[in-house]
Chain A
Amino acid sequence: MADPILQISGLEVAVDDTPILKGVDLTVPQGEVHALMGPNGSGKSTLAYALAGHPRYEITAGSVIFDGQDIVEMEADERARLGLFLAMQYPVEVPGVSVMNFLRTSINAIRGEDISPRDFIKLFDSKSELLGFDRSFADRYLNTGFSGGEKKRHEILQMAMIEPKFAVLDETDSGLDVDALKVVSEGVNTMRGPGLGVLIITHYTRILRYIKPDVVHVMFEGRIARTGGPELADYLEEHGYVEFGAAEEAAAPAG
């Protein structure tokens, strides 16, 4: 087994002084794809934001070792420069900031040196082509007026350009129709490899039909309640989260 790219121990996180995560232990060896499942409100997205360094998500205890370094005290941009990427559930619209300007600023920051305009366009074009996306993002403002599917595709395009060591996909499947989900999943699959660890956060098993996880974790009430192989997802699809205490039985694929 490869060295862990991510090692979370005893992680406790509060949002506005309300404890949400109550001792999360989770390890992802580099190159593996893990799924994090669980009912609404179990703390999945909180984990995603806490990992990425959102200032509202306060880490009150525990440690997060990323690629050998404790990142708990780091700002979001430092974590990103170390190779951590979060594909957001709701990418925000930033008015007036062009996609190209944003991407170039991001790539320069991540690489620590200025990419030439020519190389940048080449990178943009090659990654768009790799993912089967057209160039329509190029002339627009960041996420502004993007459809739900476009926002998610744009997140995946950023991931492809940034080439992180580890990516958290926070409910990337939500709000996508089957075709869009396939496109996004294929994008992730093309990037899959020994140099990329992935944590797919999802409520439903649907996306896991297209991106096969190596390991599945179930989160419930701020802790990892069970960890298993891909078969755990199938089990959840059939039985839901009821046995963990959830009132709902919503692990079945939507649609």
Chain B
Amino acid sequence: MASAIPAWAQEVRDAATRNLASLPALTGEEEAWRFTPPADLALTGAEPAAPGSAGTVTVEDGVRAARLRLADGVPSAPELLDLPEGVIVAELGAALEAHESLVREKLYGLIGFAERPEAMNAAHWDGGLFVYVPRGVRATLPVEAILTASGASGRIFGRTLIVVEEGASATVIDRYASPEVSGPVQASTVVELYVGQGAELEHISVIDWGAGVRHHAMLRGRVERDAKLRSVVVTLGGDVVRVEPTVVCAGPGSDARALGLYFAGGDQHFEHRVIARHEAPQSYSNLLYKGAIQDHAHTVFFGNLIVPPGAPGTDAYQTNRNLVLNDGARADTIPFLEIETAEVKCSHAGAVGRVDDEHLFYLQSRGVPTPEAKRLIVMGFLQEVLEMVSLEELRTELEAAVQEKLS
């Protein structure tokens, strides 16, 4: 964190710190924490010791409007490459002062500090990304923030705030990556997405930590009238990763999609808790998460469509499908609905299946060896989600990651 925090921001930190002290520690008995013990995310214990392993992560370089790096919790100024007029990309800590009026109004608005994990992030965040796209501006090139860990710091707290004003559009990538670290690193991240009236935002989270990293990722997007949000979460790396994306259809005609891909192997444990909440009539949401699981890995999907009273005409879908590649790997899927409005169209489906032997045989009968055939089948399985992601390079990257995991 930069040395001088504005007073208002310090007050929030202090309040969050007080909350953290007064809130009871998570025990794992809580309903929402049944599947991923909070201790596994190091959300209960003391500050972990800094293990001090070194290494840097290299990332594919796509063409970007701006790029920001947060290494081991040390913020640095963003690299501004090709920003349209009026668009702000800044390090969030610096933006507290530099863009106070914009930041102060929105920061903590979607994810505050009333609950313990949120309070922990609010009290401690090291730095992060601030993106502001003014009214009517279309930022075509993606903005990318990379949060990395070398193991030099035991805890990393990142935070992203994105505000896309009326009729504007943007694509933002939050990437979380590291090499294998020798000791445990705990990461906590918060992403707040404001999508103004008629605006469009595509937000992509790529979670690709090396072994030794545990990550609790919270994301919330608020979608105003006739606006579109596409949240994509790609979870590949990390020992224990829990991702909580919530999309809120706040205005009539809003369209929110929460898309996810995951591939867990080894002893990895991933939990995705994905929620769509409809607070306005005539809105659309679609939750689509697909995952492959191998070795002794375990994944959990919990999905919920929440339609409180007063949201007639809601059109909402929720699908989670899992491909289990071997005995010993496990996937749980819990699709949920809370519908309190009549005249809505909602569906939910969850499935766990295996690689179809007939698919495998068909590919093998054309000369394709088993590992390659499995790769094709897994990629084909994930294709349904991939083809909804506009960023082509993500596909190439994912393909390589799947290939590496399968080999």
Specify the chain B residue showing the minimal Cβ separation from A106: B366
Chain B neighbourhood of A162, CB < 8 A? 366-367
The verdict on A15 contacting chain B, using a C-beta distance below 8 Å, is: no
Residue-wise interface mask of B (361-396) relative to A, using a CB-CB cutoff of 8 A (1 in contact, 0 not): 111111111101100110111111000000000000
B364 touches A77 (CB 8 A): yes
Is A54 an interface residue when CB atoms closer than 8 A count as contact? Answer: yes
Whether the pair B379, A106 counts as a contact (CB closer than 8 A) is no
Question: Cα distance A97–B372 when bound, in Å?
Answer: 12
Report B249-297 residues with CB < 8 Å from chain A CB: none
Query: What's the minimum C-beta distance from A156 to chain B, rounded to whole angstroms?
Result: 13
The residue among B357, B368, B383, B384 with the most chain A CB atoms within 10 A of its own CB is B368
Contact status A105-B359, CB under 8 Å: no
Which residue of B is nearest A52, CB measured? Answer: B365
B82 at the interface (CB under 8 A from A): no
Chain B residues near A91 (CB, 8 Å)? 362
- The number of residues on chain B lying at the interface, defined by a beta carbon within 8 Å of a beta carbon of chain A, is 24
B382 to chain A: closest residue by CB: A96
Q: Are B356 and A96 in contact (CB under 8 A)?
A: no
B365 contacts A76, CB within 8 Å?
yes
Per a CB cutoff under 8 Å, which of A55, A85, A94, A101 touches B357?
Answer: A55
Q: Is the CB of A54 within 8 A of B367?
A: no
- Chain A neighbourhood of B380, CB < 8 A: 94-97, 141-142
Whether A102 contacts B376 in the complex (CB less than 8 A), given A88-B362, A92-B358, A94-B359, comes out as: yes
**Please, what's the 1-or-0 string for A91-130, where 1 marks a CB less than 8 Å from any CB in chain B?**
1101111000110011001100000000000000000000
* Contact across chains for B384 and A86 when beta carbons are under 8 A apart: no
Per the bound structure, the CA–CA distance linking A85 and B364 in Å amounts to 11
Q: In the complex the two chains form, what is the Cα distance from A95 to B362 in whole Å?
A: 13
Taking a contact as CB atoms under 8 Å apart, the answer to whether A109 and B366 are in contact is yes
Q: Does A81 contact B (CB under 8 A)?
A: yes
The verdict on A75 contacting chain B, using a C-beta distance below 8 Å, is yes
A53 at the interface (CB under 8 A from B): yes
Proximity string of chain A (45-79) to chain B, C-beta cutoff 8 Å, 1 when within and 0 when not: 00000001111100000000000000000011101
B370-A96 in contact (CB<8A): no
In the complex, per-residue mask of B337-363: 1 if CB is within 8 Å of any chain A CB, else 0: 000000000000000000011110111
User: What is the 8 Å Cβ interface bit string for chain A, positions 31-48, against chain B (1 contact, 0 not)?
Assistant: 000000000000000000
User: Does A76 contact B383, Cβ atoms closer than 8 Å?
Assistant: no
B377 → A minimal CB distance (Å) = 7
Nearest neighbor of B372 in chain A, beta-carbon distance: A105
> A106–B362 contact, CB under 8 A?
no
CB distance from A121 to the nearest CB of B (A): 18
Closest A residue by C-beta to B359: A94
Q: Is A185 on the interface with B (CB-CB < 8 A)? A: no
Would you call B381 and A95 a contact (CB within 8 A)? yes
Q: Cβ of B356 and Cβ of A92 under 8 Å apart?
A: yes
**In this assembly, does A89 line the interface, its C-beta being within 8 Å of a C-beta of chain B?**
no
Please state if B364 and A80 are interface contacts (CB–CB under 8 Å).
yes
Q: Contact check, B376 vs A105: say whether CB atoms are below 8 A apart.
A: yes
B41 CB to closest chain A CB (Å) equals 32
- Nearest to B380 among chain A residues (CB) is A96
Most chain A CB neighbours (cut-off 10 Å) among B369, B372, B381:
B369
Which A115-168 residues sit within 8 Å CB-CB of chain B? 141-142, 158, 162
Chain A proximity of B218: nearest CB distance (Å)? 30
Write out, one digit per residue, whether chain A residues 209-247 have a CB within 8 A of any chain B CB (1) or not (0). 000000000000000000000000000000000000000
Q: Are B368 and A77 in contact (CB under 8 A)?
A: yes
Q: CA A162 – CA B358 in complex, angstroms?
A: 20
| Chain A residues whose C-beta falls within 8 Å of the C-beta of B361 in the assembled complex | 52, 54-55, 76
B358, B362, B366, B383: the one contacting A96 at CB < 8 Å is B383
- A77 engages B369 (CB within 8 Å): yes
Do A109 and B367 touch (CB < 8 A)?
yes
B369 touching A96 by the CB < 8 A rule?
no
User: Are B364 and A76 closer than 8 Å at their CB atoms?
Assistant: yes
Is the CB–CB distance between A96 and B384 below 8 Å? yes
Contact B365 A53 (CB under 8 A): yes
B 140-176 binary contact with A (CB < 8 Å = 1; else 0):
0000000000000000000000000000000000000
Given A96-B380, A97-B376, A141-B380, A105-B368 contact (CB < 8 Å) = yes
Residues of A within 8 A of B363 (CB): 94, 102, 105-106
Given the complex of chains A and B, what is the CA–CA distance between A75 and B366 in angstroms? 12
CA–CA, A77 and B356, complex, Å:
16
CA distance A81 to B363 in the complex (A): 12
Cβ contact within 8 Å between A109 and B365: no
Residue from A76, A102, A141 having most chain B Cβ neighbours under 10 A: A76
Q: List residues of chain B with CB within 8 A of the CB of A81.
A: 367
The closest CB in chain B to the CB of A83 belongs to: B367
The answer to whether B368 and A94 touch across the interface, beta carbons within 8 angstroms, is no
In the bound complex, residues from chain B placing their C-beta under 8 Å from that of A106 are: 363, 366-368
Q: Beyond A77-B367, A81-B367, A94-B380, list 5 extra A-B contacts (CB 8 Å).
A: A54-B365, A80-B365, A92-B356, A94-B377, A96-B384
* Chain A residues packing against B (C-beta within 8 Å): 52-56, 75-77, 79-81, 85-86, 88, 91-92, 94-97, 101-102, 105-106, 109-110, 141-142, 158, 162
Q: What are 22 A-B pairs at a CB distance below 8 A?
A: A53-B365, A56-B357, A76-B361, A77-B365, A77-B367, A77-B369, A77-B370, A77-B373, A80-B367, A81-B367, A94-B377, A95-B383, A96-B381, A96-B382, A97-B383, A101-B376, A106-B368, A109-B367, A110-B367, A141-B380, A158-B366, A162-B367
Closest 3 CB pairs of A and B: A96-B380, A96-B383, A97-B380
Residues on B lying within 8 angstroms of A by beta carbon are 356-359, 361-370, 372-373, 376-377, 379-384
